[in-house]
Chains A and B, each alone.
Chain A
């Protein structure tokens, strides 16, 4: 063994220092180990399964025994019209969700913030985010009960006052609106929580100063409240844009029906048809992987733009 050089020694001491730090705060690191292992076990290890996209996957032989087929699956999915439609619909529905659904929690939060009566504010808030805890399965069932063309309560009511049924669920445009609307109903209240938290961080003195200067409520909202929660808005916007390419399965699947599949078939439901129903796991995995890549591109782009424009990003 060669004697340790000075640099080595100081490095070693540094390491020892780190080690001592870890040992000293071991409870904290122990707590951190849990979420970390969650991510490794449930997020990183399953990523190895991506190999399926490049193999002629035979479920009975297992992933590693199946043969490699290179990019064959990707070649196939780009030739499928149905996949391109699903991709288009995913973007369409997500974009509408974003454009219509994103500002609503902000407005709600601003309104809630202006409420002075405590108990009313509290109960309004609770009522607003309660729907978030209703599963899509239930909402899908409720939508049929309420909006079905013949037997839905809403249409029964409309008929009784002499208005013709509105095909909420069976006509494409109406369906898209119903889809976006139920999404807002379910999640807008929940979305206010983060903004309300950010609102509490705004310095009260700013409001007092504005009041002294004779600013109206709207002025205060515009010049103090909104700039105060701007970083939160930007971060949430970036995260939402990052999710543009991915879409949950339950909502489009349960709200959709064969009559509107032209707009309701999205990537997740298409993966279900191809992967689970037809058992073509290779193709389904390839679609999933492609979707993840697009999502990453969107996220990075949004972050890049936000840095340029706002000087704020997620990193």
Chain B
């Protein structure tokens, strides 16, 4: 008799344990693929087999830039997502599900999602080598037939040239976003600091250096050249040191930047800036991780000059934040990095933007194209880039102007992540001046936008386009890029001046040895095959 209750007790405990472990496991399994996002629904395939009146689920990737202002709606449930659901989803019996991916881990996350067969139906990347690899491995869908059937508006908007960038192995594996503005990088300076010191706007690299030194002297706590200190945003400075008369089209396409004549001097200059405390000593801590630190410095009024994505201070809203905190602050766009020919060479974009692709495992290619086609209609472009007329923008001479209010600030900080077929605000196919005007969306800083785009386009350089995929680059590209843009960039700039030459030469030699030469030679062969 006494034994029985004990037995039941044990059994209960055993069952409870099993149950708790099992629930814990299943909970884990669901959370694993993508924590803090909306992918947790394992049943999208089930939905497709059910009767037609149930909506199909369309999963769409969405960049999370971690820049949502306090008080704003989450990026997966705001005006834009509701507008898309109501105007595209509901009429077509589609339920839209957003899958967020951290902006700075774009390729990593995509690789994991693709490998785990859990990629959303619509994914995208800026990385050409990644797309080429997926094509080679047979992992993505040929969208050509779907565009023919459902994509007439899309074709009209993008045009043949832009679409051709999405063709790999003669098939339209990717849909490429159209770039409205070619300018990549622009540099600004604090005009009020210049005025305070009675200095002119710097017009050459040397004047720029002298200005930074003066800034440092006058404001010891500031970051004189404190913009985004990374490989990409230092391109105008680096390019200005290159000896362009010795560089052919083929060199520009095939050579790594490191062996360009003059590149070493560009880094010597950066090394000098670092060792004299003219750029943020902590810049290595943010590379590849926190890209927002400089925005905080800027809002705190600590940045004297900086190079950023063209017009980014306006469209990311931190220029407005800075002027709110420091009413006297005024930025002037400058373009001081001049080469021996007196030009200001800098990279500019080709007309293609992000690659939009559909994984082969997805059964929703038709819906994806329908979605992009719907997005291409002028009315939807306006809404997805500007919000609601009267609430967040008003039309002035056919160009949407953002209203200076909280609703607009809380909505438009990531508008570019919804209307993914366009990079940059867009109103007209024919008149690019109208588009520039549209990108000057903040009426208070219209001049800044226009000047940024002008200066970011001036003497722009693009590399030749070679159609053949470069096998060694698909294989080694990511590692080489990490080496170049993170490790080498930091090590060479932070070296002591005495060691600079030794560090630079050793690093470049190592780079060429670990694949740099292999990629360069394959690129040369491919270039010659196509152009000679």
Question: Which residues in A have some Cβ–Cβ distance to B below 8 Å?
Answer: 27, 30-31, 34, 38, 58-61, 80-82, 144, 148-152, 165, 169-170, 257-259, 261-262, 273-274, 276-281
Contacts and interface: CB of A to CB of B under 8 A. Distances in A.
- Most B C-beta atoms less than 10 A away, residue of A34, A58, A150: A150
A149 B282 contact: yes
Contacts of A262: 491
Nearest to A170: B284
Contacts of A38: 21
A149 B139 contact: no
B285 A278 contact: no
A31 B88 CA distance: 53
B284 A277 contact: no
Given A27-B10, A34-B21, A81-B510, A59 B281 contact: no
Contacts of A61: 137-138
A170 B493 CA distance: 12
A55 to B, nearest CB: 13
A226 B487 CA distance: 46
B285 A144 contact: yes
A27 B11 contact: yes
B482 A170 contact: no
The prevalent SS among residues of B at the interface is helix
Contacts of A170: 281-282, 284-285, 494
B138 A60 contact: yes
Nearest to A280: B475
Identify the 3 closest CB pairs spanning chains A and B, nearest first.
A259-B284, A258-B486, A278-B478
B286 to A, nearest CB: 8
B17 A258 contact: no
Interface in B141-163: none
A81 B287 contact: no
A150 B302 CA distance: 13
B514 A82 contact: yes
A258 B111 contact: no
Given A276-B108, A276-B112, A279-B115, A261 B486 contact: yes
B278 to A, nearest CB: 12
B441 to A, nearest CB: 32
Nearest to A59: B115
29 contacts: A27-B10, A30-B14, A58-B138, A59-B139, A60-B139, A60-B360, A61-B137, A61-B138, A81-B513, A144-B285, A148-B282, A149-B281, A149-B282, A150-B281, A150-B282, A165-B281, A170-B281, A170-B282, A258-B288, A258-B487, A259-B494, A261-B490, A273-B479, A276-B108, A277-B107, A277-B111, A277-B482, A278-B476, A278-B478
A276 B478 CA distance: 10
Contacts of A261: 486-487, 490-491
B18 interface: yes
Contacts, number: 96
B34 interface: no
B257 interface: no
Interface string B252-269: 000000000000000000
Interface of B: 7, 10-11, 14, 17-18, 21, 107-108, 111-112, 114-115, 130, 133, 137-139, 280-282, 284-285, 287-289, 360, 475-479, 482, 486-487, 489-491, 494, 510, 513-514
B363 to A, nearest CB: 15
Given A31-B14, A58-B137, A277 B285 contact: no
B115 A257 contact: no
B514 A80 contact: yes
A31 B17 contact: yes
A36 to B, nearest CB: 12
- Most B C-beta atoms less than 10 A away, residue of A38, A59, A280: A59
Contact of B137 (A59, A81, A277): A59
B288 A278 contact: no
A257 B285 contact: yes
A263 B18 CA distance: 45
B14 A278 contact: no
A258 B479 CA distance: 13
A165 B130 CA distance: 42
Contact of A257 (B280, B476, B479, B490): B490
Given A61-B137, A280-B475, 19 more contacts: A34-B17, A34-B18, A60-B360, A81-B510, A144-B282, A151-B282, A170-B282, A257-B287, A258-B486, A258-B491, A259-B284, A259-B490, A273-B482, A274-B479, A276-B111, A279-B111, A279-B133, A279-B478, A281-B115
Contacts of B282: 144, 148-152, 170
A27 B14 contact: yes
B491 A277 contact: no
Contacts of A27: 7, 10-11, 14
A220 B284 CA distance: 51
Contacts of B115: 59, 279, 281
Nearest to B11: A27
Nearest to A278: B478
- Most A C-beta atoms less than 10 A away, residue of B114, B115, B489: B115
Nearest to B15: A30
Nearest to B297: A151
- Most A C-beta atoms less than 10 A away, residue of B11, B287, B478: B478
Nearest to A260: B284
Contacts of A148: 282, 285
Contacts of A169: 285
A259 B491 CA distance: 6
A255 to B, nearest CB: 10
- Most A C-beta atoms less than 10 A away, residue of B139, B285, B287, B479: B285
B173 to A, nearest CB: 13
Given A148-B282, A148-B285, A59 B514 contact: no
A258 B21 CA distance: 41
A288 B487 CA distance: 23
Nearest to B360: A60
Contacts of A60: 114, 137-139, 360
